[in-house]
Structure 1
Amino acid sequence: MGSTDQCRDIEELNPLCQILLNKALEEIKSNGINPLVVETYRSQERQNYLYCQGRTINQATLKGISTSFARAYSNPKSCQITWTLNSIHTKRNAVDLVPQRNVKGKMTAIWNSNDKETKKIISIMTKYGFEAGAKWRTSPDSPHFQIKGVSSTAKSYSATNTNTYITKMIQKALNSKIKANLVVDGKWGSATTKAVNKFRAKQGWKEDGKVGVKTLNELLT
């Protein structure tokens, strides 16, 4: 696969992101929806390539793309695909996902945010801690789901490595698993850390206040 090629491999994502996506996909499929993973990890070269689509060489170089790259890939006659060079895809914490179904005898990807199955996917992905691009007020991106503001290499979520969406998901899971009675406010404070440690202690694990791969899997089982 070349550096500008599209990647659909879930295993290229951050391990924590992989768990959340796989859990979401299981639930999506259980609702009778056939999901299509359009893209997962994206190299910076591919991000630059996508930015060049629908833009002139000058527009691309003004954003910092090299002249040689812009000359090779700029295509002002194409539709613009992205508005940024700093995508969460490059941080291994984003996925593009749409439903697909048989339309007039052909399996077809559905690129419609108002579609019933798309709305269900958005609901489920949000449940598992993803921010839905379809909900953005400016430049909404219906197939895009991301976990923003967390380390791309982190092996656990914690008070110092989380965001509102992830924290809410963890708080809800703790309330369900151990009746933690947490306020689901997306704020990882001492009460959330205490609940994480209580859950970890029940499993016989070290009380370090972190939700790593093993803890996350157990919380969502």
Structure 2
Amino acid sequence: MDCLANIKFLDALDQPINGLFHQLWVGSILISDHVTIENGESVWIKRPVGTIIEVLVRSITSGKYEPKVKLQLIGEKTTFIVRSPKVLLKGVNLSAKDVATGTYVRSTYIVAEGDYLSRIADDNHTTTAELIRINNLKSDTDIHPGQVLKIPVKKVEVSMPPPESKPKLQQTRQEKTKIIVVQQKDSLPLIAKLTGNTVDEINKLNGLSNDKLSQNQKLKVYDRKVASPVSKPQPEKKKEETKTAMPPTVKQDASKNKEETPIAKVESQIPVSSKVSQRNEKAIGRLHPQVRALIRKFINDVYTKHQVQLVIVQDYRTYAQQDALYAKGRTASGNIVTNAKGGQSNHNFALAVDVFPLWEDGKLHMDAKSDATNIKILKKIALVGKSIGLEWGGDWKTIVDNPHFQLKTGKNMAQLRQLTKDAGGNPLKVKYDV
């Protein structure tokens, strides 16, 4: 069984660590080189349960990636929380080499069948012109299914105070010290981290000229309290509020030095029940209110019955967006992907979605050679959608559309257009008798 996992980095006060450069390794294979987003999260990864993921974090002093913790994947969908023993205050003084150059840190997006550049831009909070520029596209129609696009993600803003304004350490003559004994695999940065000291402080207290240590060596350090990376107790929730599962907390007791980067222990694990990803939720949010709950149920039921994770690749489209899609292969470059003009598709009334399954490798496969496998999976899960009242495009006689699922309204296109017109042109305000 595979585990869909993410890592969330928090500081000692449970504040998300934004802009943290880190890498994820499985053995000798690098599987992710990423920068945390505003909420402190890394990227989602999918690997077999039991896989050990090693987390390396880039040092703000040396610029090198250093091993911090190992995580063993558990459950079907798990978010691990890794806490730093430090409090990350605004105005942290970073050296120039620790700040990413340029305007953007880039991620990628795989073009789906029927995608158009303006929707991709909207979903990723950028512009069509910017996507054309960074991907060297000829026009806004110069894309094809399976194409990997570079997506600009706004870089973390970091305050850079002058070098002279370094915060003064609470280091007075009255501050108490204590003696610690160096263990076999201890390093000066590790001891500094665990004791709340800095490397410079330890060097000065002990008259050290370099970072080399020997086992059983005695060191003098300032006796400071260090925030323990343990999870805060969670208040008891009402039954109706327990839909969102709490992520487990990862603890790493590095002071015992059983190994250089010990495997993290999970304090608690509550499986995440919903299989509706952030991408799916964003798409569902654009649908008609009477469709949203039905699509969420469809996605969750499919996973429960068939262990298939669906991804929404198409949802609401405006008339103008539908016309642009219709133009492909006709008056614009590309292949013909639809026979419906603006106002001739249930997508234009926020009543329909197109879905594709994630394969066992955790990826979407939307190229022509993958059609047979995708269709086989979609035919298997179609009964789930039909059982809860959705209409499936695979049952259509004229144009078979296997990825397509829509709400049954009993209305034809002319009636849908008129209802939308009567609602002031807003399809989300139409009320259907279903």
Q: TM-score, normalised by structure 2?
A: 0.29
Going from structure 1 to structure 2, the CA distance change for 1:19 and 1:114 (only over 3 Å counts) comes to same
Q: How does 1:1-221 map to 2 (within 5 A)?
A: 4-6=118-120, 9-30=283-304, 31-56=306-331, 74-75=332-333, 78-85=334-341, 86-102=344-360, 107-109=364-366, 111-112=371-372, 115-147=375-407, 148=409, 149=411, 152-153=427-428, 157=432, 161-162=433-434
Letter in 2 for 1:84: A
Going from structure 1 to structure 2, the CA distance change for 1:123 and 1:4 (only over 3 Å counts) comes to same
Going from structure 1 to structure 2, the CA distance change for 1:9 and 1:115 (only over 3 Å counts) comes to closer
Kept in 2, the 8 Å contact 1:97–1:144? The answer is yes
Bigger proportion of residues as strand? 2
Q: Once the two structures are superposed, what CA deviation does each residue of 1:85-109 show, in whole Å capped at 9, x if it has no partner?
A: 1111110000001212036x85535
Shift of 1:44: 1.6
Q: Secondary structure at the match of 1:123?
A: helix
Going from structure 1 to structure 2, the CA distance change for 1:91 and 1:33 (only over 3 Å counts) comes to same
Kept in 2, the 8 Å contact 1:102–1:108? The answer is no
Deviates more, 1:106-115 or 1:35-44: 106-115
Shift of 1:155: 7.2
Distance of 1:138 and 1:116 partners within structure 2: 20
The answer for unaligned runs of 5 or more in structure 1 is 57-73, 163-221
Distance of 1:114 and 1:144 partners within structure 2: 13
Shift of 1:145: 1.2
Shift of 1:115: 4.0
- Measured on the aligned residues, the alpha-carbon RMSD in Å equals 2.8
Distance of 1:119 and 1:47 partners within structure 2: 26
Aligned residues: 138
Kept in 1, the 8 Å contact 2:393–2:403? The answer is yes
Of structures 1 and 2, the larger Rg is shown by 2
Letter in 1 for 2:284: I
Going from structure 1 to structure 2, the CA distance change for 1:113 and 1:124 (only over 3 Å counts) comes to farther
Distance of 1:113 and 1:125 partners within structure 2: 19
Distance of 1:135 and 1:114 partners within structure 2: 16
Q: Once the two structures are superposed, what CA deviation does each residue of 1:114-155 show, in whole Å capped at 9, x if it has no partner?
A: 744211221111112211111111111111112242764467
Going from structure 1 to structure 2, the CA distance change for 1:21 and 1:138 (only over 3 Å counts) comes to same
Shift of 1:4: 3.6
The answer for unaligned runs of 5 or more in structure 2 is 1-115, 124-281, 420-426
Distance of 1:112 and 1:15 partners within structure 2: 33
Kept in 2, the 8 Å contact 1:113–1:134? The answer is no
Kept in 1, the 8 Å contact 2:379–2:402? The answer is no
Letter in 1 for 2:401: D
Q: Once the two structures are superposed, what CA deviation does each residue of 1:156-190 show, in whole Å capped at 9, x if it has no partner?
A: 65xxx24xxxxxxxxxxxxxxxxxxxxxxxxxxxx
Letter in 2 for 1:15: P
Going from structure 1 to structure 2, the CA distance change for 1:125 and 1:5 (only over 3 Å counts) comes to same
Q: Secondary structure at the match of 1:102?
A: coil
Bigger proportion of residues as helix? 1
Going from structure 1 to structure 2, the CA distance change for 1:5 and 1:114 (only over 3 Å counts) comes to closer
Q: Secondary structure at the match of 2:339?
A: coil
Q: Secondary structure at the match of 1:108?
A: coil
Q: Secondary structure at the match of 2:365?
A: strand
Letter in 1 for 2:399: S
Q: Percent identical across equivalent pairs?
A: 28
Kept in 2, the 8 Å contact 1:21–1:128? The answer is no
Q: Secondary structure at the match of 2:285?
A: helix
Going from structure 1 to structure 2, the CA distance change for 1:142 and 1:107 (only over 3 Å counts) comes to closer
| Higher RCO by CA contacts (8 Å cutoff, separation 6 or greater) | 1
